[in-house]
Structure 1
Amino acid sequence: MNKSRTYIPKLKGGRVHEVSGDGALAFALLMAFGAMKGREALCIGSPDWLAALQPHGLERFVDPQSLVHVACPLKTDVLWAAETALRAGAVRVVLLSLFATPDGKSLRRLQLAAETGGALGIILVREVAFTSPAETRWHCQPCRQGDARGLHVSLYKNKSGVEGSWYLYGYGATEHNTGAGRLAATPAGEPVWPGRLAR
């Protein structure tokens, strides 16, 4: 492996993590792949969001048949379904899509549920709040290097480790995942995030 490569910090199980940006879903699926260990994951969101998840696009990251879709028309339903799934611990990964970062009370409930069930929770948001009790906060954007497409991922909040940013080129489970839930990448300097002031 190129000596300039390193590993992106793993997402801890039993915790809830927040991911934003146009590359959020791709990054979340990459991180979920290593945590699933051959088991199913739940994708919880609006019917429109779930309908946009095309199997052909998903198969680069995970087996589409391993993703169980839970359609919830209301935000309160998404949060309830996610909390219930995280607490039950029947799946290793729960992905949920929301327009914005949940309020502190709701996110703390999700955190407690994840701690109880031991599952990994990943929240995909389009609008980020100024603060969040999430274990980590990430911002992910598509990028290019010549003909290679990839992701620029920034870890701008981490309760228990380093922060930073990385490039993933030619990304996909085959290219980057070591089988231990670790993603090989190239360091990209200081993290960036929406507004630059959010923590």
Structure 2
Amino acid sequence: MTAAILSQKPHRPAAEAPLLADLRLAKARCHEFCGNARHTLAMILAGAQEGPVLWIRPAWLPDALHGQGMVRFAAPGRFLFASPRRPEDLLWAMEEALRSGALPLVVADLPAPPPLTPVRRLHLAAETGAQEGRFAPLGLLLTPGEGGAQGVESRWQFTCDHGGAQERWRLTRSRARTAPPKSWHVTPRDRGFAIAPCAA
């Protein structure tokens, strides 16, 4: 009975990527960032990682990242950009990149939250990339408004909460498999960012 329960394999905690302070995101999974400052949070995440970043965005949308704005968070030279012309190619490109395991972070800037089946495919692709590729990739879906992608590992909303000349954001973990909902205030510092729980 005991032999059937216990395993001789060493326990290996799931790999995690740093976000802010002690907040972490599970690798080999897909997460969702939403809210009006979601691109800023994605850049903060990219700056906390090492290695190249693939940023996928629709070719038909006019807004794009600007190098001078990026340098505050992460070196622009680390980024590879893909701009598919067809909506169905956005998630296809992300799935293939995750499956390759060639990149630690793959970001898809989407015009709307995807349904459950494509998200499940992204999880499976990321797991394959972790097993067969160089990196355990982290998939990041950027969605407008309050998000709503089904089946994501976690959902984080990042919104502007500036006061006068003070730059500040509100970070809300609205969904996570292993943690309850919670909100923090995020403020920039000379090196990095300070994070403090919001008052109840």
Do they fold alike, i.e. is TM over 0.5? yes
Shifted more, 123-132 versus 13-22: the winner is 123-132
Mark the runs of 5 or more structure 1 residues left unpaired by the alignment.
1-5, 177-183, 191-199
| CA contact 2:114–2:149 (8 Å) conserved in 1 | no
> 1:142: how far off?
1.0
Which digits, 9 at most, give the CA deviation of each residue in 1:149-183, with x for residues without a partner?
Answer: 121110010012243111111268x323xxxxxxx
| SS in structure 1 of the partner of residue 144 of structure 2 | strand
| SS in structure 1 of the partner of residue 119 of structure 2 | helix
- Structure 1 residues 186 and 158, CA gap change in structure 2 (3 angstroms): same
Which digits, 9 at most, give the CA deviation of each residue in 1:174-195, with x for residues without a partner?
Answer: 323xxxxxxx4110146xxxxx
Match of 1:62 among 74, 77, 92: 74
> 1:47: how far off?
2.3
Q: TM-score, normalised by structure 2?
A: 0.80
| SS in structure 2 of the partner of residue 85 of structure 1 | helix
User: Which residue of structure 2 lines up, in the alignment, with residue 73 of structure 1?
Assistant: 85
Which digits, 9 at most, give the CA deviation of each residue in 1:111-137, with x for residues without a partner?
Answer: 111122120111001155656200000
1:26 aligns with 2:40: yes
User: Which residue of structure 2 lines up, in the alignment, with residue 99 of structure 1?
Assistant: 111
| AA in 2 matched with 1:105 | T
CA RMSD of aligned residues (A): 2.1
Number of aligned residue pairs: give it: 175
| AA in 2 matched with 1:31 | L
CA distance in 1, matches of 2:86, 2:189: 33
Bigger radius of gyration: 2
| CA contact 2:95–2:125 (8 Å) conserved in 1 | yes
Match of 2:158 among 120, 140, 143: 140
| CA contact 2:36–2:145 (8 Å) conserved in 1 | no
- Structure 1 residues 92 and 133, CA gap change in structure 2 (3 angstroms): same
Higher strand share: 1
CA distance in 1, matches of 2:147, 2:44: 24
> 1:94: how far off?
0.2
Q: Which runs of 4+ in 1 moved over 4 A?
A: 48-51, 127-131
| CA contact 1:142–1:152 (8 Å) conserved in 2 | yes
| SS in structure 2 of the partner of residue 61 of structure 1 | coil
Q: TM-score, normalised by structure 1?
A: 0.80
Mark the runs of 5 or more structure 2 residues left unpaired by the alignment.
1-19, 130-135
User: Which residue of structure 1 lines up, in the alignment, with residue 192 of structure 2?
Assistant: 175
- Structure 1 residues 129 and 32, CA gap change in structure 2 (3 angstroms): closer
